[in-house]
Homo-oligomer: A and B are copies of this chain.
Amino acid sequence: MAKKQLNIGIVGYGFMGRTHSNAFLQAGRFFDLPCQPVLKAVCARNVERAKSFSDNWGYESIETDWRKLVDRKDIDLIDIASPNDTHAEIAIAAAQAGKIVMCEKPLGRNSSEALAMVDAVETAKVANMVWYNYRRVPAVVLLKKLIDEGRFGRIFHYRAKFLQDWTISQDLPQGGEGLWRLDVSVAGSGVTGDLLAHNIDTAMWLNGPIREVTAMTETFIKERKHNLTGEVAPVGIDDASAFLCRFENGSLATFEATRYARGHKALYTLEINGEHASAFWDLHDLHRIQYFDHRDEGQVRGWRDIHVTDGDHPYMDHWWVPGLQIGYEHTFIHQFADFAVAIDTGKEAAPTFRDGLATDYVTDAVLKSARTRQWENVSG
């Protein structure tokens, strides 16, 4: 018996368009999905690029106006993989059209955009998800499981970083194709929304809500040529952002993201210290987790380097054999597989838009604190 089709229309053809499309195609090969994803259409303003993308990934059709995509009756799910400044408008329209909505992170450029998006999907009662993909790294899922089992006891500390080095050169322009992340009007913010948002989403999933923050941001290179205008213009984004915070559970934390940490490409790291146990993970070796359990016998107590590739590790029984690792793109495959099941059963699959909003409240507080030079409470 053939499975029910899940007809997908995607907006955007960039880096995230690729990761999402790959997830739609691969999920069913490795997971027993309740539905059959069908790549109905890709939407992009540039018809050449839409065509090229469509040819590569096997989309059935193309659109150049996202409003037409949203209006199509043959589409069940709108996936938003376009720049941040398009998220809110598309998501709200899609929800109003009764579509399932998936959206790249951050949800909005700020919490007011995100709040409107949450209102839209909740009013329309449509399934929704934000692509905070690092929640589906097997090692991170294992960590969540260990925390939920109570192995850490009272949590004292959390720390997270996201270090990159790709914008150090003064010669790098801002704005336009492939560089919209440097244009504050499109991106909303710099590393705070792009990188810290990932750290914060995972952190609140693992350690609960954040109460208050004190932050600093910096723009190291003050002016860059803008690719759309050809003129040198002030840089509006934050190149680096760091904050101290207190979680609701009483733990203390430090967060830091930057694109000026030479030698690091995508070094997302996190560590949690509890009364009984601690754990550490980093994206550059995403298939490993370091775990320390103080209740181990003293003389052989040590940080356990867990190679998260075994059959009893999250998601891994779907892949190869123990010892053989998976990579970055698999996190999107896992996320879509989980979402497909959630849609089928009528349950929510986190992170929902509401979860995405919670992160935007924190990034708003971070950016505000950097301006006011005060501790700021997190709304929501």
Contacts and interface: CB of A to CB of B under 8 A. Distances in A.
Interface stretch (A79-87, A113-121, A292-300, A334-342): A292-300
A276 B262 contact: yes
19 contacts: A29-B56, A146-B300, A156-B240, A157-B261, A163-B273, A216-B252, A261-B278, A262-B274, A262-B277, A263-B277, A263-B294, A266-B322, A266-B323, A293-B300, A302-B304, A324-B328, A325-B327, A325-B328, A373-B375
B307 A265 contact: yes
A29 B23 CA distance: 12
A299 B327 contact: no
B156 A266 contact: no
| 6 closest cross-chain pairs (CB), A and B | A265-B323, A266-B323, A263-B292, A302-B304, A302-B306, A324-B328
A344 interface: no
Contacts of A25: 25, 29
Interface string A303-335: 111110110110000011111111111100000
Nearest to A306: B302
Contacts of A306: 300-302
Interface of A: 15, 18-19, 22, 25-26, 28-29, 56-57, 142, 145-146, 156-157, 159, 163-166, 168, 214-216, 218, 220, 240, 242-244, 246, 252, 254, 256, 258, 260-267, 273-278, 283-288, 291-294, 296, 298-307, 309-310, 312-313, 319-330, 373-375
A322 B265 contact: yes
A333 B41 CA distance: 26
A341 B305 CA distance: 39
Interface of A is mostly: mixed
B322 A262 contact: no
B15 A22 contact: no
B15 A29 contact: no
A225 to B, nearest CB: 19
B266 A142 contact: no
Contacts of A246: 216
A267 B323 contact: yes
A306 B327 CA distance: 17
A215 B245 CA distance: 10
Nearest to A311: B298
B263 A273 contact: yes
A262 B323 contact: no
A322 B216 contact: no
A214 B22 CA distance: 44
Contacts of A56: 28-29
Nearest to A214: B214
Given A165-B294, A214-B216, A240-B252, 18 more contacts: A18-B320, A29-B57, A156-B258, A156-B260, A157-B261, A168-B275, A216-B244, A254-B254, A254-B256, A262-B274, A263-B292, A263-B303, A265-B322, A299-B312, A302-B304, A303-B305, A304-B304, A319-B329
A364 B312 CA distance: 37
Given A298-B312, A300-B146, A326 B327 contact: yes
Contact of A218 (B214, B240, B252, B258): B252
Given A216-B214, A242-B252, A267-B323, A300 B305 contact: no
Contacts of A304: 296, 300-305
A265 B157 contact: no
Given A216-B246, A299-B142, A310-B298, A285 B285 contact: yes
Contacts of A273: 163, 165, 258, 260-263
